[in-house]
Amino acid sequence: MKQLLDFFPLLLFFILYKFYLDLPDELILSINAWAPMMELTPGEPGDAIYLATLAAIVVTLLQVCAAAIIVRKVEKMPLITLALLIIFGGATLALKDPLFIQWKPTAINWMFALVFLGSQLIGDKPLIQRMMGHAIEIEEARVWQQLNLAWVGFFVVAGIANLLVAPAIDPLGFEFSEDTWVDFKLFGLMGMTIVFVIAQAFYLARYMPNTDEEEAG
């Protein structure tokens, strides 16, 4: 359930971007009345990213507030995500420039890379062990350290991949469209994550204790 809730802002961003032109004009005008700085134009495809960005900020903020009220605890990762979303998304809305929101996935992934790397250098356990150690019994510290570094590498690669697809950045001149970037933001990065998590499961399985052998012994 938690993973689905974390996924919701990304899905909402995708839906509002893709179906902006199908939204009733009255809804767009009511959003302008609620948030005058938006200045959305009904039927203007270029405004889709601004509505999607606003919705992602609001929903993520509500999720963090709900967690603080109901669970009375907010993990660091959602807070980092919210902070970067407000910074980059807010800049996109204020300056009417998609460049900043297109930088956001890279900024988040690279920030996570720094956090994971820092946990390996500071403290007695890497972050991935603190997150998964209660559910998986692996005694070898080397395994957790290697897995933590693998996540660092994944976040770095994911950030680079976003830069290559984002049309407002486009360092190598691939000239992808904004529509393609929105697809990649949902399906590409998610697909990369799923493949990596599956690879992680196979890696961890090599070091997990064999309960059948222990019971037989």
Same domain for 83 and 140, yes or no, is no
Residue with tokens 């005694």, as numbered in its chain: 139
> Degrees (nearest 5) of the Cα angle 22, 177, 84?
85
Q: Which residues, other chains included, contact 155 with Cβ-Cβ below 8 Å and sequence gap of 6+?
A: 109, 110, 112, 113, 116
Same domain for 88 and 109, yes or no, is no
Alpha-carbon span 105 to 30, nearest angstrom: 29
Measure Cα distances from 69 to 13, 58, 72, 194 in Å. Answer: 25, 16, 5, 31
Alpha-carbon span 24 to 107, nearest angstrom: 34
Same domain for 91 and 124, yes or no, is no
Let me know if residue 215 belongs to a domain: no
Domain limits at 37?
1-96
Alpha-carbon span 207 to 173, nearest angstrom: 43
Per-residue pLDDT of the chain (217 residues; tens, 9 = 90+): 455 567 899 999 999 999 999 999 999 999 999 988 899 999 999 999 999 999 999 999 999 998 889 888 888 888 999 999 999 999 999 999 999 999 999 999 999 999 999 998 887 889 999 888 888 888 788 999 999 999 999 999 999 999 999 999 999 999 999 999 999 999 999 999 999 999 999 999 888 876 554 444 4
Same domain for 23 and 89, yes or no, is yes
Same domain for 102 and 76, yes or no, is no
Same domain for 183 and 205, yes or no, is yes
pTM value > 0.85: yes
How many independent structural domains does the chain possess?
A: 2
Residue with tokens 């999720």, as numbered in its chain: 63
For the beta carbon of residue 204, count every other beta carbon within 10 angstroms: 15
